[in-house]
Structure 1
Amino acid sequence: MADATAFEAERPRLLRLAYRMTGSFAEAEDVVQDAWLRWARADAVEVPAAWLTRVVTRLCLDHLKSARVRRETYVGAWLPEPLLGAAGAGDVAGDVSDDLTLTLMLALERLSPLERAAFLLHDVFDVALPAIAETLDRTPATVRQLAARARRHVAEARPRYPLELAEGTRIAGAFFAAARDGDAAALSALLAQDVAIHADGGGGVPAFRNVIRGIDRALRLFAGLRRKYRDAPVALLRLTTIDGLPGYVSRERGGVLQTTALDVRDGRIAAIYIVRNPDKLRQVAAAFRQTAGMSGKNGAAGED
């Protein structure tokens, strides 16, 4: 049996890779667990990191084949599970050291599974071309082409100027208040003319199914929500980053937990990514339950 200690040393990196490949914590954990079962049956492995990377990548590729079929029947927009700053996602969050934002992950979703794997392994996880070629059962030249195509898509989605954390936090807080209050003037100052709003409810909670495009439609949306739910409370739980984008966690009308990530370009919000699907918010909900429990022990009311 292979050394369990060696596997545990690699687990955080394997979770990161599987999450970046699948866009799902639950699926990433399933993949890594499957890799552990194969590791436990293996004889002594000379280079654990390389062996495990190869196994996890191949498991993710198998998973993506079926995942694409499931997403074709997904209700509404599909978004990756939200990764909060440095909290709320266990080992995955604690070890994220790449700069793949939610926007860039969505760009990767438009690639083939092989292109996605080649880019992640080569550009994000620094795996050598020959090793990637062995993993993908392709030649090094083919892997280089796969990674180059993916790199071009990522470059198109990458903002020209990085947003300072403090400025992102300020914009996220201002947007939360303006959206909660249906403040058309404040929203007009924050939103880009061609803003796009994506909402992932998974069919289980209320969420608009089609992307809302353009500032006029966005303003009508927020004004309508304010009129319809004037007396329903909305609570800001935390300003944070969500997959590298400024955003926040809130408790919305009806008690629905929600994350909102903002893609800010040239000082304006160009895209809004809302996740309400409870299945994708388990990590977030667990983090806030833990926070509430700790606050309760200290005699203070928890945010939940």
Structure 2
Amino acid sequence: MRQTAGFDAYASHIWPGQQWLFTKPHPELPSKIAFREAPVSEDGGYRRNTYFTMGQQTLFLRCYAEYGRHDFAAGYCAAGPNAFVCCEATLSTRPSGGIESLACGILFDNVTVDGNGIFLANLGGTGGRFGWGAVNSVLWQCSASIVRCDQPPGAFNWAFGCWGEFDGDGYWRASNESVEPESLYIAQLSERLGKENAGQIILPPKPRGGESNPTLERAQQLTQESIHPSQSLKTFILELTSKEPLPLNPNGAPSIDHIGNTTTQSTSTKQHNLIITNGWLVIEDRLAIGTIISVAWWRGTVNPEIAPTHGVALTRF
């Protein structure tokens, strides 16, 4: 699935084999988008960037990925704000974070990347990505093999209550510790819309506390709890899907049948049969011939600013 234009869109209960790709912010392009429960993974180029946005005001809530590349990522000059809240990736092959140039205002809130990292960093000039991948962005209670938080010139990146190995000269607080509130996104939503509205967002139960140096009694308790591992986000999503089915009540919204002009104009086109005559492809007794077109070489980048100049190339869909 590909979303390249629109405002105030909502997607929920998207299952494996599907993907959303957002283009950079523009008046005609996506803004105010929300995702829920959308486990995705496909092996193939940019399609493997499981949850990827180049837009703004995009919410990825309770999203799960397996064997992805940059599972939770923002692309070239994504204006933000964009939020990844309560997301989990397992066996990831590439780090999450800002993966191109100057994505701004990304919130990673309770994001776990198993097998790779989360980077708010200077990407250098390798891999077709140049300079700072993310600026003015926040990591809140995230867990990854490597958490990298660098401070760009003239801007900031922050990391609060993160778990893993750490790298970077950004703003770090309470590393390998739990912090309050549990979710920064929900706390800000509660201040803006009230606790009742914010309380509608359900997060899976998560062990909390200073577990990096527990007491002997707490260590024994944790040992017993480890016999029965905590519920995974994938299992939580499946259970929540049955408890929260897709809403079918329009709540007074007008029907599409009563909006605007519902008439369509049908255009008839003449059909030309393609047949083989004496080994030749023929249309209406004339040899079917076309033109020759050059195929562009791979330019090493999919930067949307210069992609239109690349020319035509064969690719997979």
When you count helix as a share of all residues, which structure comes out higher? 1
- The higher-RCO structure (CA 8 Å, 6+ apart) is 1
Normalising by structure 2, report the TM-score: 0.25
The structure with the larger Rg is 2
